[in-house]
Amino acid sequence: MNAPSTKSLFRATKAKRKIHPAQMLIGGLPEQRKPDAIRDPLDYDPTPRDATAAFLAAEGDRLREIGGPIWENAVGGGHMARELTAHGFDVIGSDIVDRGHPGTITRPFYSWDGTYENMGRPPADIIITNPPYNEVSARDGHGRWLEHIERLGVRYAAMLLNWDWIAARINGMDEIHARFPVSRAYVCCWKIDFRGGGSPPQRNGWLVWDRDWQGETVLRRLFREGGEPTQERLL
């Protein structure tokens, strides 16, 4: 004889989440989302200072070796640009909209086509950015942000991305990675809280494309307080 199910009892006794009084006044409407779940229509997420500082602890010497200004091509409010400047780098900021960072070049990234015509040459040979995810992802963006970086032929590019991004295979991502492989990949050993909600849902990492790099992609661990990351080969 089968034991009686306890599912209905569990459902009956399970504590119900309290409804805010403001929601009770608008009965029949769907429950409102938390503020940190509302995305900017251009996928803008300001980068916390510690994410850029940790990256510079690992890659700062290489950037100084290359020399020249850094192009932050999704500069937004200038959060990453200010940290780069604080570490002694000259920064050129551009974005599709002006979010108040001084000197922002208001211009779409794709308007630079790599030629000398119509000011098509990139303003710097180093790109460091937290790109709009809907432009770089495999599903929505088909990787086109990375493809355009490849097309521009800059010497060095680094992007802060969802750590799952590199595993995507759809919409031509295998082909992109085969011809334009990552040089160094840094997995962040903490979860970056972009929106200040206190419980970031994803793991992030910095990916570097270095034109002078020789050999296999290298995986390194990146720590919040900086310091020397350990290094290991990807399998």
CA geometry: angle 94, 96, 72, nearest 5 deg: 25
Higher pLDDT, 152 or 193: 152
Q: Which residue has the tokens 């409407």?
A: 29
Residue 196: HSE in the Cβ half-sphere, 13 Å Cα cutoff: 3
* Secondary structure element (H or E) that encloses residue 126, with its range: strand 126-129
pLDDT tops 80 at residue 11: no
CATH code, residues 49-233: 3.40.50.150
pLDDT for 65-106, tens place per residue? 999 999 999 999 999 999 999 999 999 999 999 999 999 999
Contact (CB, 8 A) for 213 and 180: no
Domain ranges of the chain: 7-37, 49-233
Average pLDDT, the chain: 83
- pLDDT score at 230: 43
Give me the mean pLDDT over the 27-42 stretch.
Answer: 46
Task: Name 112's bridge partners.
Answer: none
Instruction: Calculate mean pLDDT across residues 190-214.
Output: 89
Per-residue pLDDT at 122: 96
Would you say 231 and 183 are in contact if contact means Cβ atoms under 8 Å apart? Answer: no
Output the pLDDT for position 205. Answer: 98
**Section 57-63 average pLDDT:** 98
Highest average pLDDT, of 6-20, 31-45, 177-191, comes from: 177-191
Q: What is the mean pLDDT of residues 41-63?
A: 90
Q: What are the strands of the beta sheet with 91-95, ordered from one edge?
A: 105-106, 91-95, 70-72, 126-129, 156-162, 204-210, 184-188, 218-222, 231-233
What DSSP letter does each residue of 158-220 carry, written as one string? EEEEEGGGGG--TTTHHHHHHHS--SEEEEESS---SSS-S---S-EEEEEEETT--SS-EEE
Confidence of residue 198 (pLDDT cuts 50, 70, 90): confident
